[in-house]
Structure 1
Amino acid sequence: MSATTEEAPRRSAVEGPAGWLREQRGALKELLGKPLTTYYLIIGCSALLLALGLMMVLSASSIEALAKTGSPFSWFIKQSLSTAIGVPIMWACSRLPHRFFRWAGYPLMALSIIALVMVLFIGSSELGAQRWIYVGPFTIQPSEPAKLGLALWGADLLARRARQGRIEWRQLLIPLMPGTAILAVMVMLGRDLGTTLVLLMIFLSLLWVVGAPIKLFGGIMALAVLAAVIMIRVEPYRMARISAFLDPWADAQGAGYQAVQGQIAMGSGGWFGLGLGSSRAKWSWLPHGESDFIFAILGEELGLMGTLVVITLFGLLGYAGLRVAGRVNDPFIRLAAAAVVAWIVGQGIVNIGAVLGVLPITGIPLPLVSYGGSALLPTLAALGMLLSFAKREPGAREALAARGPGPVVRALSWLGLGGMNKGRARR
């Protein structure tokens, strides 16, 4: 009798953690099975990254903004205005049907090419790259909307090919490859290797989702590597960047200065950071701490834990986009969602990798976090598009209708700009 009573607690102690894990696994499975999981993941991750980005821009830019404009808040105010414009754009895109995005890719692609040509003639050259057009007090970087244009145009092009059964590799590449090449050449002529890499990621993701043969990827990658080698060899500053990437400490006061200062800032943060606003690197030590190297300032002020939170949010955002691509049957939506994931998450990986010293510095911002309205607005539009696509998941529209009017619709009704019943009817 006593032996039996001794074994019973032993079994329950063993089954306790295992049972708890089974319960948690079941709860997670139930959560992932809900029709609005993707929808809320996109909103939540985007909102958290935006809020974190605004805080970090305020901290990272305050010293340089004070020196250049006389106010420590000037760049933060500009970023806040960009966010105030971008969030309604995201909301508006989330309300648009997917047919609009199929159509929008063509004019956006054409306008991007025209704008990139204009950059070569009237653009401003800074830090060895010619990327910007000044329109009064505003700065426009045409290569940013070009990413969205390529994603939409390429997705519709391949979706039409797939519907027609024309998936032989030559039919997949024409005119997708020439169109991508035109964008890439225009961007490369402006000495923007980072954006060229992102365009290549979008291009490859489209081919991957449509089912292009593996040997085609090998050929494309070989051409890309050859083009990169040629670009590096013909431009001395790129060769200096590669040398600085391989051994930044060999020229810590020259070509490797930014990489070294970024690593020092990251290392200074420890586990939990020095605290918001307490960065030392932003005091004119780290160049472009508010944009290209904002992840280094974040690591210094919020520590390893803060950087892991950012990486987790990007991972969840990428998962949400791929979940849309996997749960919606429309070929265009699958292709466009995968392209947006390749763009946003891929660009995040390249930026973070450069700060950590595992990838060369390319000068591209961290999506949703870095300073810059030209990059923020197309990114928010793309995320709004993902929200629109997420509504087409099985059961999502019904769940949204059962939820009732959202806060934006209620706010508009309070202002007399739209009735709640109309909002419910639209759903």
Structure 2
Amino acid sequence: MRLYSRIRRAWDRPLTAYYVILGSSLLIAVLGLVMVYSASVITALGYSLPPSYFFRKQLTAAVIGTVLLVAASRMPVKLHRALAYPLLAGSIFLMALVQVPGIGREINGNQNWISLGVFQIQPSEFGKLALVLWGADLIARKHDKRLLTQWKHMLVPLVPVVFLLLGLIMIGGDMGTAIILTAILFGLLWLAGAPTRLFAGVFSIAAILGVILIKTSPNRMGRFACLGATDPTAHEGACWQGVHGLYALASGGFFGSGLGASVEKWGQLPEAHTDFIFAVTGEELGLAGTLSVLALFAALGCAGIRVAGRTEDPFVRYAAGGVTTWITAQAVINVGAVLGLLPIAGVPLPLFSYGGSALLPTMFAIGLLIAFARADPAARTALARRGPGYGRKKAVVRWNTMRRRVSARSSGER
């Protein structure tokens, strides 16, 4: 009981959410860099590239993402709201540009990429961030005008714009990103206090459209047919990736085979450094490693919920809830697919998998959460009390305290 009370008091401190978001996200990103290097070496050599090719690209994206994170964490809330409409318009333009012949590029059956010479971008990843900011700003404005009690203001223009984004994404065949956008929509509606009937109606429409899209695609039907499969030759090899992901997890044991010692990444497991990097993590770091990753995501999600739940600013509540929904839903879908509990949706593990297009907007979104955590009045007061040089002063106090204790012990022994 005493331990629970201490944990509760620690969780209720003004800066807890700030430190948890910052610490957990950076730990996930750093561990992700390590695992990207380990999982991508064999793939790089298979393409006659330097062993560190994918790692260097991911490291470059992480450095740029860190700059975006710091910038987002220092921006005032008004500036975040001002970015909402330009970011949405830019995302829609780029997502439409993907379908232009000669500009858009198809990868793994999905045409959702734009090639820019030495690197490529996936506009739909930035569409997630755009939807969070624009949707939060839209609902916050209607909240201030007391319009959310009317169902038409709850749905319009939020749902039509989301359907536009979903349509542009589904033209390219990316069902996974469409699911994440739908989850963000539901998260925003739930935070806005949508009545059960309205929420159930939107969910039913989305479910019917999802069933139609799955039924009309042999590839998606094959992914559903692979749920629970353990034979990689089943369904003409469609289950190869999922089954070998389970093989990787099963062979890791509790502490894993050791960093860099994965067997499945030697050509047996497709997309080992992207969608199925969690499987390589389980094989090399074992159950302890995978549980650590899940714990970090859980801490990040809980801290995001705390930020959304304790603020008085409607925009901060909706934006923080939207970011938390995005990251946690994407993590659940990715991990569920690797564990064989969900169909393979082709979405990366946030902050962890290889891919600059996914990493950059996600790190900006983490910067949003940090900014919102800092904007809390109690957190601002706590930060102001510390002032410049607080960390150095605290370290000096601890050092002097330790010296006095050592001197006291020495005197007692004499």
TM-score (norm 1): 0.88
Q: Secondary structure at the match of 1:120?
A: coil
Residue aligning to 1:17: none
CA RMSD of aligned residues (A): 1.5
The AA in structure 1 aligned to 2:237 is: G
Residue aligning to 2:30: 51
Query: Cα distance, 1:188 vs. partner?
Result: 0.7
The AA in structure 2 aligned to 1:114 is: F
The AA in structure 2 aligned to 1:96 is: M
For residues 395 and 286 of structure 1, do their structure 2 counterparts lie closer, same or farther at Cα, with a shift above 3 Å needed?
Answer: same
**Structure 1 stretches (4+) deviating beyond 4 angstroms?**
none
Residue 159 (str. 1) matches residue 147 (str. 2): no
Query: Cα distance, 1:191 vs. partner?
Result: 0.4
- 2: CA distance, partners of 1:38 / 1:278: 36
The AA in structure 1 aligned to 2:113 is: W
Deviations 1:148-190 (A, max 9, x none): 0000000010111111111111111000001100001100111
Structure 1 window deviating more from structure 2 (253-262 vs 193-202): it is 253-262
- 2: CA distance, partners of 1:116 / 1:200: 17
The answer to whether the 8 Å contact 1:269/1:303 transfers is yes
Residue aligning to 1:202: 184
Residue 130 (str. 1) matches residue 111 (str. 2): yes
For residues 129 and 244 of structure 1, do their structure 2 counterparts lie closer, same or farther at Cα, with a shift above 3 Å needed?
Answer: same
- 2: CA distance, partners of 1:210 / 1:403: 36
Residue 92 (str. 1) matches residue 71 (str. 2): yes
Residue aligning to 2:121: 140
Residue 316 (str. 1) matches residue 299 (str. 2): yes
For residues 406 and 302 of structure 1, do their structure 2 counterparts lie closer, same or farther at Cα, with a shift above 3 Å needed?
Answer: farther
Unaligned stretches of 5+ residues in structure 1: 1-21, 409-427
Residue 362 (str. 1) matches residue 341 (str. 2): no
Query: Cα distance, 1:248 vs. partner?
Result: 5.5
Q: Secondary structure at the match of 2:281?
A: helix
- 2: CA distance, partners of 1:301 / 1:247: 23
- 2: CA distance, partners of 1:358 / 1:321: 25
Unaligned stretches of 5+ residues in structure 2: 392-414
**Aligned ranges for residues 105-124 of structure 1 at < 5 Å?**
105-121=84-100, 122-124=103-105
Residue 232 (str. 1) matches residue 247 (str. 2): no
Deviations 1:82-103 (A, max 9, x none): 1111111101110000111111
Query: Cα distance, 1:249 vs. partner?
Result: 2.5
Query: Cα distance, 1:250 vs. partner?
Result: 7.0
Aligned match of 1:376 in 352, 355, 359? 359
The AA in structure 2 aligned to 1:53 is: G
Q: Secondary structure at the match of 2:226?
A: helix
The answer to whether the 8 Å contact 1:244/1:251 transfers is no
Residue aligning to 1:249: 231
TM-score (norm 2): 0.91
The AA in structure 2 aligned to 1:52 is: L
The answer to whether the 8 Å contact 1:129/1:190 transfers is yes
The AA in structure 2 aligned to 1:319 is: C
Q: Secondary structure at the match of 2:112?
A: strand
- 2: CA distance, partners of 1:343 / 1:243: 26
The AA in structure 2 aligned to 1:199 is: L
Structure 1 window deviating more from structure 2 (340-349 vs 160-169): it is 160-169
**Count of residue pairs brought into register by the alignment:** 387
Q: Secondary structure at the match of 1:245?
A: coil
For residues 250 and 33 of structure 1, do their structure 2 counterparts lie closer, same or farther at Cα, with a shift above 3 Å needed?
Answer: closer
The answer to whether the 8 Å contact 2:232/2:240 transfers is no
Residue aligning to 2:410: none
- 2: CA distance, partners of 1:297 / 1:269: 9
